[in-house]
Structure 1
Amino acid sequence: MSTDQVDGCVAAMAVSPLSGRCAEVVERAEHACFGISPFNSYFSTARIRELAAWGLEWFERVDFFVPDAPSAYTFEALGYAPGKAAWKARRQGQYTRNKIITALDSLGQADADQRVLGWAELESNAAFGRLHEGGLRRYAEDADFRDACREATGWVLAGKLPAGQAPDEGQVEHAVRYFLAELPLFIDTPAIVDAGTSVFCYHQPPAVLRRLYGGELTWRPAAGQGFAVIAPTVRESKKQR
């Protein structure tokens, strides 16, 4: 494992794969993709450093996915003008990217700026483009899949609205493009980053991902794709696998 650059102690992580196949992919420990939400205060620089240190300890390669530009869809659904929404998404996305690079630099990673997967990197990636187009097409043609995507989007929007207020149909339909932009990383990250297997790591997945990895939806993750809920626990001494 890539441990020579990680000093001292690393945060212990509670790792909960979403399925048996996900557990197998975690055990392979080839690649981890950490989802880092630009507008979530959970992802402080210290938290990102903890995740990075743990990832470098246990996996051969790590990357960090930042849904920067697609965040504008959520803000537009909340009433922001497109220009203002794009500006907010771009500014916060750059701030989040900088936090990741700072964390990786502190861990001695010379290629820190190459470990961030934002929209600029993904929109020129052929595998991502193919998967994204496939998701858009499936959303238009498959009612069950469409309902699942909209449910996930409603869950995200509900957390950004005043207590007791639910998003309307128009808001969900607009903001769902954010979820569809993320979806390729849940379906086939290995194809996007040229890895044999990959684990997408996040601390709080929407219910639709449990259905996705449970094989309940018509679109299913690639054989080498896994997902694990990752949460820091107590600190422990670094150890080798």
Structure 2
Amino acid sequence: MSLPTSQVTFEPVNAVSESLLVQAKHAVVALSPFNSYYTQDIINLHIRAAMEHFEHINVVIPAMNMTLMFEACGLTRSQAEHKVDKNLRALRNRILYAFDEMLVPRRLAEQLLCPVDTLQGNPVYDTLLDNVRNAFHGGDPVFQEACMTTARGVILRLSGRRAEPTTEQKHAAMEFLFSEAAVMSDSPGIFKQGPSVHLYHRVVEFAGCLFDKQLTWTPAEHQGYAVIRPNKDATE
């Protein structure tokens, strides 16, 4: 069952997520660089809709570990770092502009914006990240397959779909994917805001497996996941 609002529709992935869309006071808004979907209008819409529906939000974006994927696609380390840094800065600026539009003070907006590398040192996040890595390397076949499928799509997009990604290239995406999996597994524990819903524009492969409880670990008791979709004419 979806939950429509005036501007977006939240589509929960399971019954727990459906309940949390009503009960939770916190959401994680996940946004990605190198994705043409995330125009300024869409970013504005996602952040505005989340702030209107939930009392508290954090916006989570990737970090410089994305450089490994570009190196695997043939760029030098310097070229990869420059490309990723430039795109992360652009995404960060668009996010801060969206907060400006909501009249959120800049200092608070910067606190709400969380590149995943800023979560290092958070004991809940660090433990989750270790657990996710162990699941992949220790023989969770469902998680391994889901990660490789997701990595294939990411590498194809970043490389301009020039060739079928190699196994080495797909493995270069793993740290990026592991950090995403950790955040969506227990954002209540990471952010200490109570029940929470992870919001993204689609269901990534391993998220579907995680919330269907097909993996060797399960999401936290009060962790939900929902797709956020603009309603017709919402960005016009």
Which of residues 141, 150, 175 is equivalent to 1:177?
175
In the alignment, which residue of structure 2 is the partner of 1:38? 33
In the alignment, which residue of structure 2 is the partner of 1:194? 192
Amino acid at match of 1:135: V
CA contact (8 A) 1:34 1:202 kept: yes
TM-score, with normalisation over the residues of structure 1? 0.87
For residues 62-81 of structure 1, the aligned pairs below 5 Å read 62-81=57-76
CA contact (8 A) 2:9 2:229 kept: yes
Q: Give a deviation string over 1:104-160, Cα, whole Å, max 9, x none.
A: 022111211111110342123222112112211222112413232222212222333
Taking the aligned partners of 1:29 and 1:82, their CA distance within structure 2 comes to 42
CA contact (8 A) 1:37 1:43 kept: yes
Is it true that 1:108 corresponds to 2:106 in the alignment? no
In the alignment, which residue of structure 2 is the partner of 1:124? 121
Secondary structure in 1 matching 2:7: strand
CA contact (8 A) 2:30 2:60 kept: yes
How far did residue 38 of structure 1 move? 1.4
Report the count of equivalent residues: 227
In the alignment, which residue of structure 2 is the partner of 1:57? 52
Which of residues 139, 142, 161 is equivalent to 1:142?
139
Taking the aligned partners of 1:33 and 1:80, their CA distance within structure 2 comes to 32
Can you give the 5+ residue segments of structure 2 that lack an aligned partner in the other structure? Answer: none
Secondary structure in 2 matching 1:70: helix
Provide the alpha-carbon RMSD of the alignment.
1.9
CA contact (8 A) 1:78 1:171 kept: yes
- Percent of pairs with identical residues: 26
How far did residue 74 of structure 1 move? 2.1
How far did residue 11 of structure 1 move? 5.5
Taking the aligned partners of 2:67 and 2:217, their CA distance within structure 1 comes to 26
For residues 13-28 of structure 1, the aligned pairs below 5 Å read 13-28=8-23
Taking the aligned partners of 2:91 and 2:118, their CA distance within structure 1 comes to 15
CA contact (8 A) 1:72 1:89 kept: yes
Taking the aligned partners of 1:167 and 1:11, their CA distance within structure 2 comes to 41
Out of 172-181 and 116-125, give the one that drifted further.
Answer: 116-125
How far did residue 13 of structure 1 move? 0.8
Is it true that 1:230 corresponds to 2:225 in the alignment? no
Q: Which structure 1 residue ranges, 4+ long, deviate > 6 Å from structure 2?
A: none
CA contact (8 A) 2:201 2:228 kept: yes
